[in-house]
């Protein structure tokens, strides 16, 4: 398959009428799959009402079929087509955070969406992306679009079009190149089907921000339960992993350096994931600064690109510093834990 690339400037006016966007929307209406930029990561979009289109998403990614997909919309009125009810707290959250990096889980209407899109669950995960190209494409095609991250399943999510092509060139119909994404980690997923909303995946909107708007919010224990059936993407299977084994290290810089030296004595090529504050501290084969520890949003934005850069450097093992489990640090640590398969070395 020849994967088409559409280059679109997100700052251009009237993007819905942009010939590139119009062409990509036609592909979606023909039940092809198209990668598109969002404010979090690039998504792999397909018609959520079509088993054919959704099947192409799973096939291109090599994604397990029991992992539900997020449905992307451009306007709240689209919810009426496939959501059974919209709770009051969901309304409050939509008003505060849509468009934006928040996915809300609703009870779904039966018989509308492809069963494969929701993995046969009675619920559906929905978000409205805060990216002008994504919104223009969604409005132009007029469809609810299922869109997981546009990468091979289990690998680091793509934050630019080049990442998408590295993984999926020849496997999908096209990619809209809208430049680098901003937030860098996926949306927060919150279940609003219960009286107290429950975070199922940490992401671009923090627990503190949610509680400031809607009151008490719980964090689901299934985040760490690999045996639980996922109600949201990212709750099951290893994700975001670079090619080399990744270990999180909780301890001093000297302790991490000793681990590096031990592996280098074995003849292995060792990588260290750190931040700009500590980039000059370590002596290893590859030391990559992933943002600034003093500004964790920069770590989130650079995380997946940094993990992919280790692949290019062909390291044999990677040691990563850990980060505070607060604010966006929750999302960073969730992704690192998934990428490392929960392998943690403590001093």
Q: Is the pTM of this model over 0.85?
A: yes
Whole-angstrom distance, CA of residue 229 vs CA of residue 236 = 8
Q: Is the pLDDT of residue 67 over 90?
A: no
Q: Is the pLDDT of residue 77 over 90?
A: yes
90-124 pLDDT, tens digit per residue, is 999 999 999 999 999 999 999 999 999 999 999 99
Mean pLDDT, the chain, rounded, equals: 94
pLDDT-based confidence at 144, cuts 50/70/90? very high
208-233 pLDDT, tens digit per residue, is 999 999 999 999 887 755 555 555 55
- In this prediction, residue 74 carries a pLDDT of 98
pLDDT-based confidence at 237, cuts 50/70/90? low
187-200 pLDDT, tens digit per residue, is 999 999 999 999 99
Q: What is the mean pLDDT of residues 296-300?
A: 97
Q: Is the pLDDT of residue 235 over 60?
A: no
Whole-angstrom distance, CA of residue 27 vs CA of residue 249 = 45
Contact 157, 41 (CB under 8 A): yes
Q: Is the pLDDT of residue 332 over 60?
A: yes
Q: What percent of the chain has pLDDT over 70?
A: 95
- In this prediction, residue 278 carries a pLDDT of 97
Q: What is the mean pLDDT of residues 266-274?
A: 98
pLDDT-based confidence at 7, cuts 50/70/90? very high
Contact 251, 235 (CB under 8 A): no
**19-28, 56-65, 135-144: segment of lowest average pLDDT:** 56-65
Q: Is the pLDDT of residue 243 over 80?
A: yes
Q: Is the pLDDT of residue 37 over 70?
A: yes
Task: Please count the other Cβ atoms lying within 10 Å of the Cβ belonging to residue 154.
Answer: 16
Query: Higher confidence at residue 233 or residue 322?
Result: 322
Q: Is the pLDDT of residue 57 over 60?
A: yes
Whole-angstrom distance, CA of residue 150 vs CA of residue 277 = 31
Residues in the chain: 347
Q: Is the pLDDT of residue 166 over 60?
A: yes
- In this prediction, residue 232 carries a pLDDT of 57
Strands (E), 88-205: 102-107, 123-127, 145-146, 174-177, 188-191, 198-201
Q: What percent of the chain has pLDDT over 90?
A: 90
Q: What is the DSSP string of 156-171?
A: PPPSSHHHHHHHHTTT
């Amino acid at each position: 398959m020849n994967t088409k690339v559409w280059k679109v400037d997100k700052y251009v006016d009237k993007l819905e009428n942009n010939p590139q966007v119009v062409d990509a929307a036609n592909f979606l209406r023909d039940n092809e799959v198209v990668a598109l930029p969002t404010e979090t990561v690039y998504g792999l979009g397909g018609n959520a009402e079509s088993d054919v289109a959704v099947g192409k998403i799973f096939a291109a990614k090599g994604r397990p079929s029991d992992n539900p997909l997020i449905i992307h919309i451009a306007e709240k009125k689209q919810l009426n087509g496939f959501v059974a009810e919209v709770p009051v707290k969901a309304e409050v959250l939509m008003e505060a955070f849509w468009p934006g990096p928040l996915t809300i889980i609703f009870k779904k209407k039966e018989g509308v969406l492809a069963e494969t899109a929701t993995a046969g669950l009675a619920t559906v995960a929905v978000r409205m992306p805060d990216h002008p190209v994504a919104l223009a494409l969604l409005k132009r095609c007029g469809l609810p679009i299922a869109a997981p991250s546009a990468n091979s399943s289990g690998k680091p999510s793509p934050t630019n079009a080049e990442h998408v092509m590295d993984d999926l060139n020849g496997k999908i119909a096209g990619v809209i190149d809208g430049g680098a994404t901003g937030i860098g980690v996926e949306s927060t997923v919150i279940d609003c089907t219960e009286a107290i909303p429950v975070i199922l995946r940490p992401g671009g909107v923090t627990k503190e921000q949610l509680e400031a708007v809607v009151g008490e919010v719980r964090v689901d224990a299934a985040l760490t339960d690999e045996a639980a059936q996922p109600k949201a993407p990212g709750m099951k299977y290893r994700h975001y992993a670079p090619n080399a084994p990744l270990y999180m290290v909780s301890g001093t810089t000297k302790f991490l350096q000793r681990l590096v030296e031990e592996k280098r004595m074995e003849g292995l090529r060792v990588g260290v994931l750190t931040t700009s504050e500590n980039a000059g501290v370590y002596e290893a084969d590859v030391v990559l600064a992933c943002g600034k520890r003093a500004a964790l949003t920069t770590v989130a934005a650079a995380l997946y690109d940094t993990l992919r850069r280790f692949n290019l450097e062909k390291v044999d093992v990677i040691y990563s510093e850990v980060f505070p489990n607060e604010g966006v640090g929750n999302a960073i640590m969730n992704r690192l834990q998934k990428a490392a398969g929960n392998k943690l070395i403590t001093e």
